[in-house]
Amino acid sequence: AQSGIPSLEINRFEAFPQGMVNSDLRVEGAVISEILYDPPPGGIEFVEITNISGATLALYDDTPAGIGGDPGNNWVMDGVDFVFPGNQPTLAPDERVVVIPQGVSGDAFRNQYGVPAGVRIFGDDDGFVGALNNGGEELALLRPDKPDQVPGQGIIVPMIAVDVVTYDNDALWPLGEGNSIERINEPAFGDDPVNWQTSFSDGGTPGKPNSGATGYQNWAAGEFTDQELAGGA
């Protein structure tokens, strides 16, 4: 949260009557779409976030002020220390943004990685603080709920998980040493190594569509026979 207000991360669950089938895993309007956590010498860590909602997405508490919302509280990223900068920032439909370490020049990153003009890069004074763990960690995109008054604690801002990726460098996850990992199917559940691949492009594709346009097919071809892919027994 902003302005020194303590925050609390929460998860919300909805109970169903016994025997009912669970709903599908929910994917919200923005996702972590690419991560470079272990760059080669001279490389720069980055996280790409993409708006998949089909509409302009508010990156702040857009709960109406009349019912307790605080538009001064912006979305954050956990795993590294990052708050989306600006007054009531938004993501345009299908927009991709790239977050790099604080103190790293956004212009230099753009030139090094071929990021298209117009793609926003949060670096310089607005980048993340800390570093992505090469051995794996939980990286989370969080949005603020309306502040709550908690007895004995004052005002608490609950933070709700929008997207979580618990990447790892073990055999289950695609190789992330020296190259980025990309989400193959962006609207699908992200905290699953099956939905990630090593980028086909050297250095990754920050700010551009992932090289996984055919990534699922390439992965599936290595996992299943032609008969299995065709639906045969």
The per-residue pLDDT for range 61-74, each reduced to its tens digit, is: 998 877 888 999 99
Q: Which pLDDT value is given to residue 149?
A: 75
| Cα of 191 vs its chain's centroid, Å | 10
pLDDT in tens, 137-196: 999 999 999 888 778 777 889 999 999 999 999 999 999 999 999 999 999 999 999 999
pLDDT-derived band at 225 (thresholds 50, 70, 90) equals low
Q: Is 97 helix (H, G, I), strand (E, B) or coil?
A: strand
Distance CA 128, CA 225 (A): 43
Q: Which pLDDT value is given to residue 37?
A: 98
Q: Give mean pLDDT, residues 74-79.
A: 98
Strand 154-168 to 7-10 pairing: parallel
Single-letter code of the amino acid located at 18: Q
